[in-house]
Amino acid sequence: MAETTDIYIIKETKLYNEALHLTGYGKYNLFILLATGGCLMCVIIETMCMSFIIPSAQCDLNLTLTEKGILASVSFLGVMFTSQIWGYLADTRGRRNVLLFSLISSSLISMICCIVPWAWLLILLRFINGGLIGGSSSVIYAFAGEFHSDRYRSMIVSWISAFVACGQMYIPAMAWLILPNTWSVELESLGITFRPWRLLIILYALPSLVVAAMLSILPESPKFLLSKGHHDKTLTILTRMFVMNKGRKAHEYPVSTVVIDEIISENTKENVNILSKMWRQTTPLFDKGNLFKTLLICYMQFGVFMSASALALWYPEILNRMSSYSEKINSTDVTLCDSINFQETILDVKLNLFSDIIPQIWYKNNNDVSCDDSVNTSVFPVILTTGSAIGFTYILIGVLVNKINRKYLLIASSTITGVSGLVAQYISGYTAVEVFSGIYLLISSCIGMVNALVVDLYPTNIRAMALAISMMFGRCGAMVGSNVVGKIFYNYCNYMFVMFAVNHLILIVSVILLPTKKTSIIKSGAAK
C-alpha cells in the first residue's frame, strides 16, 4: 500500500502581518532587497553624478561658475518639486507602477543629456531627470517594507539604505575608469564632440534600466493591493513567497483569507480634480493625531541630509588642502581650519546660493586662464574608501536594528558622529583629522533608520505620501547643506562642526520626542 505524503493543512484567516510572517524569509526577500536596493542606488547616481561630470564638461559647454553650481543641485530641486505628486500616485495607483516609470523615464532623459550641446539645455534636462527619479526616492521604502513582516521590516529598510554606499562607490569608480581617457569623436550632425564625459553619462544611466528590468519581475506591493480590496491577488502573492522561501507546495500555505491589520476609511467621492485629491491625501499627515510626529520626522530628514551632504561634497577638498599644508609644516601640527585658511589666497572663493559648490581642487582647473578639463584622479580612492565604510555601517545597523531599539541607534549615531566632528575641528594631525571627519560622514547611515521609522509609523494608505513629504524635506536639507557649507568653511571655519553639533543635538531631541505608536485609523481622500 502506497504511503500518502500529502499532509492535510488547516487554513485560517490571518491578519496581514501574521500571513506575511508565515511566508518566511528567503530567496524571494533577497531578490526584493537587490531590486529595491538597486533602485535606491540609481537615485544616488542620478542626483549626485554631476559632481564628476561638470569639471570635465566645462570646456565643451563653456560653463560658468554659476552654471556649475546650478547643475550640481538642480536634480535635488527636481526631486523636491515632484515628491508630493509621486507620493499621491504611489498611494492611489500603486508603488510598482511609479517605480518602473520613474526609473525608465529618468534613464532615457539621462541618455539624451549625453548629446546636448548647450549648458541651459543640460540644466533643464537634469531638472526633469531629478523630478522623474524622485518617484523612486519617494516610494522605494514603502514598496520594500510592505513585503516584510514587523520582524524583518526595519532590518530590510536599513539594508536597502546600504545601497546608497554602492551608488557613492559606482560614481567615482566609473569616473576613474572613463574620465582619464583623451579620445574624442566629432559628431557634426549634432554639433558636438563626443568625449569621455558624455560616455560617462550613459554609464550612469544604464543601472536604472537594469534595475527596472528586475522590478518588472516583482508584483505590486501585496499590502497595497489588500488595502484596495484585492484579497485574491494578495493571497496569490503571499503564497508564491511561501513557495519560493520555504520550498514547499502552494496548498501547504496555511492561510485562507488575509485581513488588513489597519482600519482605513476611504472617501471615494468622484469628480474631484487631482490637486484636491493630492491635498486630501496630504492633510492626514498634518491632522491632530499626526502633526507633531510628521513635523519631527520632516526635521529629522532635513537635519540628517543636511549634515551628510554638507561635508560629503567638500571632504576631498579638505583632504587635499590638509595634504598641501602638511608639506609646509610637520603633519602632526596640521589642523583643519589652518589648512583651509592657508590656501585662502590661492583659491579665491566667492560663494552664493548656486555658485562654486563643486570642489575645483578635484580637477586641475583652479584658476587657469585657459580652459583645462584634465582629471586629477587622486580623489577617487578616498571617495571609494569612504563609500565602503558607509556601506559597512549600513549593514551593521541592519544587523542591530532588531536587537536594539532604533531610537537608541539614532541617538547613538547622532552622538558619535557629532562628537567626532567636534574632535576633528580641534585636534591636530593630518591622519587624526582625516579619521574623525571620516567618522562624521557616517551620519548618512541615519537616513535608513529614519525611513524605517516612517514605514512603521504610518499606515498603508498614506505611507508613500509620508515618505515623499519627509524625503522632500531631506532633499531640501541636502541642498542647504551642500550650498551653505562652502561659505562656512571659508568664513567661519572655527564654528563649522559646532554648527553641525547643534544640528545633531536637535536631531537627538527630535528622536526622543518622536511617538512610536502608529495611528490605526486614517481618513484619506484618495479615490480607489
Amino acid at site 58: Q
The burial of 10, by beta-carbon neighbours within 10 Å (0-12 exposed, 13-18 middle, 19 or more buried), is given as exposed
* Other Cβ atoms closer than 10 A to 179: 25
pLDDT of residue 317: 64
Contacts of 394 (CB under 8 A, 6+ apart): 158, 159, 161, 162, 164, 165, 445, 448
- If one compares 298 and 392, the residue with the highest pLDDT of the two is 298
Q: Considering the domain boundaries, does residue 232 fall inside one?
A: yes
Q: Which domain holds residue 149?
A: 12-347+372-524
Give the DSSP per-residue string, 124-192: HHHHHHHHHHHHHHHHHHHHHHTTS-HHHHHHHHHHHHTHHHHHHHHHHHHHHHHTT----EEETTTTE
Sorted by sequence, the CB contacts under 8 Å of residue 402 that are 6+ apart come out as: 151, 152, 154, 155
| HSE of 247, CA atoms in CB hemisphere, 13 A | 2
User: How far is Cα 138 from Cα 37, in angstroms, rounded to an integer?
Assistant: 13
**What DSSP letter does each residue of 347-372 carry, written as one string?**
S-----TTSS-S-GGGBT-SS-SS--
Q: Residue 414: which H helix or E strand, with range?
A: helix 406-426
Asked if the structure places residue 359 within a domain, the reply is no
d(CA 386, CA 442): 9
User: What is the sign, positive or negative, of the torsion defined by CA atoms of 484, 486, 487, 492?
Assistant: positive
More confident residue, 487 or 471: 471
For residue 2, being part of any structural domain is answered with: no
Enclosing H/E stretch for 12? strand 12-15
| 100-148 per-position pLDDT tens digit | 999 999 999 999 999 999 989 999 999 999 999 988 887 888 898 889 8
pLDDT above 70 covers a percentage of the chain that reads 81
Please indicate, yes or no, if residue 198 is contained in any of the structural domains.
yes
Q: 198-242: per-residue pLDDT in tens?
A: 999 999 999 999 999 999 999 999 988 988 888 899 999 999 999
First CA to last CA distance, the chain: 55
DSSP E strand boundaries for 223-380: 255-259, 263-266
d(CA 178, CA 143): 34
Domain count, the chain: 1
The long-range contacts involving 282-286, CB below 8 angstroms and separated by at least 24 positions, are 282/84, 282/87, 282/88, 282/465, 282/469, 283/525, 284/462, 284/522, 284/523, 284/524, 285/458, 285/462, 285/465, 285/466, 285/469
| Residue 96, domain member (yes or no) | yes
Q: Which of 92-106, 168-182, 351-365, 403-417 has the lowest mean pLDDT?
A: 351-365
Does residue 367 lie within any of the structural domains?
Answer: no
What's the pLDDT score for residue 308?
80
Measured CA to CA, the distance from residue 147 to residue 395 in angstroms comes to 19
| Inside any domain, residue 363 | no
- Give the number of other Cβ atoms within 10 Å of residue 239's Cβ: 18
pLDDT band of residue 360 (cuts 50, 70, 90) is: very low
Count of C-beta atoms within a 10 Å radius of residue 169: 20
How many Cβ atoms are within 10 Å of 370's Cβ, its own excluded?
A: 6
Q: Which has the closest alpha carbon to 449: 386, 378, 396?
A: 396
498-519 confidence digits (pLDDT tens): 888 898 999 999 989 888 765 5
pLDDT at 379: 67
Cell of 494: 572655527
Q: HEC profile for 331-347? A: HHHCCHHHHHHHCCCCC
For residue 39, the domain's CATH number is 1.20.1250.20
Q: What are phi and psi of 458, to 5 degrees?
A: -120, 140
Residue 166 lies in a domain: yes
